[in-house]
Amino acid sequence: MHTQQGLFAGLFGRGGVEAGDEAWLQAMLDAEAALARALERAGLAADGAGAAVTAAADASRFDPADLGRQAALTGNPVPPLARALTAAVPSWAAGAVHRGATSQDILDTAAMLVAKRASHAILADLADAAAAAAGLAAAHRDTIMIGRTLLQQAVPVTFGLAAAGWLPGIDEARQALARVAAERLAVQFGGAAGTLAALGDAGPGVAGLLAAELGLAVPVLPWHTDRLRVLELAAALAAAAAALGKIARDVTLLAQSEVAEAREGGAGRGGSSAMPHKRNPVASVLVLGCTRRVPGLLATLAAAAEQEHQRAAGAWHAEWEPLSDLLRLTGSAASWAAELLAGLDVDARRMRANLDSAGGFPMAEPVAALLGPALGHLAAHDLIAAASAAAAAAGQSLGDALKSGAAASALAAAGVTPGQVDAALDPAGYLGSARAFTDAALAAHRELALPAAGRPPG
C-alpha cells in the first residue's frame, strides 16, 4: 500500500491516491505529450514529434518548486512548463509543444487525468470496504443487539442488519464515482476562448485524437466555464466520504468502553501518550478526520462553479487545491475504512449482555402490542408506562414488574398469561424483517457489477 511522505501524510494521505505536485506535474506533461501525438496523427506536426515530446515529458526532469515560482508571473504553472518542455525537445519537434492550446486546456485535462487515476485507487478501496461490510453482515445475520435511536436504546436489531446498512452507502458511492470516472472526465481543448481558432477547422478532430490518446471522454465542446464535470466529481467523492464517515462514527460509538460491542483490530495500534490502558479506535477516528473536511471542500468547488464569460477570473484558480485535497482525503478515508472493516472485532456476547442488562425495557413495544387487543391500545400503553416507571424505581426488570402487583392483576383479568409476557419480552421474537433486509442488501451487493471493482485495466 502506498503511503505519502510527510508528518501527517500517513494519516490523511494514506492509500493509492496521487494528487500532489508530482502527480499534477506528470499529468500536465502527459497532456502536452498527448497533444503532440494528436497533432502528429492529424498531420499538423512533424513525423516523430509526438514520440520526441513524449520522451521529454517526464516529471523527474522538471522542478515543481521552480515552476511554482515562475507561475507567480502568469497566474498558473503551464506557461513556464511549456517553455521548459519546448527547450527539452529537439528543435524540429518544438512546434508540437502546446500548439493550439491555452493554459486552462492543459491544467483542466491534467485535473481530469489526476482524478481518473485517483478514482481507480479510491474505487479499489471502496470495493474492499464493501466486501468486508458484506462479510460482517453475512457472519452476523443472527447476532442480536440493541438498536439505538437518538443515541438511546430502542428495540432489538441484529448486527448483521447494522453492517448491511453500511453496504448500500458504499456500493451506491462506488457506482456514482465509477460513472463519473467513465463518462464525465473529459479532455479540455478549446484554445484561447473556446474556438480552437489557431487550428482552423482541424480543431475538433485534434480534440478527439487528444481524448483517445489520454483515455478521456470527448466533450460536445470546450467547457472552460462550464464546471459541472468538476462539481459532479466532487459530489461523488463527497458521497463516498459521507458513507465512510457514517461507518466510522458507528464504530466509535460501539467501541466506547461502556458499550464495548466492537473494537478495531491492528496490533500495536490505539495507544495513548498519557493513558497506557487505552485502545483507541484509530482507523475510525482518522476516517472521520478525513471526512469532516470534505463538505467544506465541496462547498468551495460548488462556489467556484459560477464562472464568467469564456474564461474565469479567479474561480477556476480556486479549484486546484480543493480538488487535490478532496481526492486525497476521500482516498485516505477509503483506505482506512477498508482496513477498519476487514479487521473489525465484533463482540456478540457483549451485545447480548448489553441488551439483557436493559431489563426488558426495550421490549415495551411488543408487550404493548400483546396487551392491546385485550385492554385497548391506550390502556395497554398506560399500563406498560406505569409498570416501567415502577420497575425503574424499584430496580426491577420490566418482566418482574408486569408479573406483580396491579399490573399482574390487570393482565390476569385480560387473560394474558405470564408465559405470553415472557414470549413478548424475548428479543429474538421481535426482529421483524431484519434478516430479510440483510439478505436483500447482500443480494444487491452481489449483483453490483463494476469492472474489476474499479481497478484500472491491466
Residues annotated catalytic, as ranges: 272, 311
DSSP calls for 370-382: HHHHHH-HHHHHH
* Residue 355 DSSP SS3: helix
H-helix segments, 140-197: 159-179
C-alpha span between 4 and 54 (Å, rounded): 26
Residue with cell 467544506: 296
CA distance 388 to 358: 12
- What grid cell was written down for 214? 489520454
Cβ atoms of residues 457 and 215 within 8 Å:
no
Is-contact 154 354, C-beta < 8 A?
no
**Residues facing 345 on adjacent strands:** 263
β-strand partners of 67: none
Rounded to whole angstroms, the Cα distance separating 298 from 408 reads 59
Residue 67 CA: distances (Å) to CA of 78, 84, 256, 437? 8, 9, 49, 55
Q: What is the CA radius of gyration of the chain?
A: 30
